């Protein structure tokens, strides 16, 4: 006799960019079929990302593992098939083709779930990701798409002075770390 209360975490591979839709589909399907005993949580791990748009800080949830949805479930009987047949689901992670889905190890689960608190702390203390004279691409603001060279790094304010060539003239821009990316 299978024990419904024994649940493990599995990773469902989803179409990238549709993680939250897939989560909603799984939850709807579980409720519709009355399978709540078998699947207790559906999770899309996200991290808060602050972007600067038009001078305003916008905090946005960014999916931490694009293309993956975590489920805490007891995958007995038809459950794996039901989940696989949901729109946007590609399959389970770690399964041999046609084999059983492989549960995550407890340490991996804790790392994933525990990361959320750590993430907010590590972002402040993290090493400066850029170097002087490094070429970066501007990804936000009026100069989106321009490449420039880092001239100065202000660690306290987490700002960069980037020299960008605009209409053939070099122009210094003050940008936050969030507004540029490495090339």
Claim to verify: residue 33 and residue 69 sit in the same structural domain:
yes
Claim to verify: residue 44 and residue 104 sit in the same structural domain:
yes
pLDDT digit string, tens, across residues 115-156: 544 444 444 445 677 889 999 999 988 788 999 999 999 887
Claim to verify: residue 81 and residue 42 sit in the same structural domain:
yes
User: How far is 98 from 101, CA to CA, in rounded Å?
Assistant: 9
Claim to verify: residue 20 and residue 108 sit in the same structural domain:
yes
**What pLDDT does 137 receive?**
93
Residues 6 or more apart in contact with residue 5 via CB below 8 angstroms: 74
Q: Please say which residue of 125, 148, 163 terminates a domain.
A: 125
Claim to verify: residue 28 and residue 57 sit in the same structural domain:
yes
Q: Please say which residue of 98, 125, 152 terminates a domain.
A: 125
Cα dist from 111 to 68, 107, 122, whole Å: 15, 6, 14
- Indicate the number of domains in the chain: 2
pLDDT digit string, tens, across residues 92-122: 987 566 667 888 887 777 777 665 444 444 4
> Has residue 47 been placed in a domain?
yes
The whole-chain average pLDDT of the chain stands at: 83
Closest CA to 150 of 122, 181, 119, 120: 181
Claim to verify: residue 55 and residue 91 sit in the same structural domain:
yes
User: How far is 3 from 133, CA to CA, in rounded Å?
Assistant: 60
CATH at residue 44: 3.30.70.940
Name the residue range of residue 170's domain.
Answer: 135-182
**What pLDDT does 114 receive?**
64
Claim to verify: residue 161 and residue 101 sit in the same structural domain:
no
> Has residue 114 been placed in a domain?
yes
DSSP reduced 3-state for 140 = coil
């Amino acid at each position: 006799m299978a024990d419904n209360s024994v649940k493990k975490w599995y990773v469902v591979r989803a179409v990238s960019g549709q993680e939250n839709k897939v989560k909603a589909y799984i939850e709807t399907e579980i409720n519709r079929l009355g399978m709540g005993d078998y699947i207790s949580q559906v999770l899309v791990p996200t991290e808060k990302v602050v972007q600067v748009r038009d001078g305003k800080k916008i905090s946005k949830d960014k999916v931490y593992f694009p293309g993956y949805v975590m489920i805490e479930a007891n995958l007995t009987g038809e459950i794996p098939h039901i989940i696989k047949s949901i729109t946007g689901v590609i399959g389970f992670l770690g399964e041999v083709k046609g084999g059983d889905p492989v549960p995550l190890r407890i340490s991996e689960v804790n790392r994933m779930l525990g990361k959320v608190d750590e993430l907010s702390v590590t972002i402040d203390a993290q090493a400066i990701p850029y170097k002087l004279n490094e070429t970066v691409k501007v990804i936000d603001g009026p100069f989106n798409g321009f490449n420039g060279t880092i001239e100065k790094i202000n660690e306290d304010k987490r700002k960069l002075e980037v020299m960008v060539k605009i209409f053939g003239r070099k122009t210094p821009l003050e940008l936050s770390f969030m507004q540029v990316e490495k090339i």
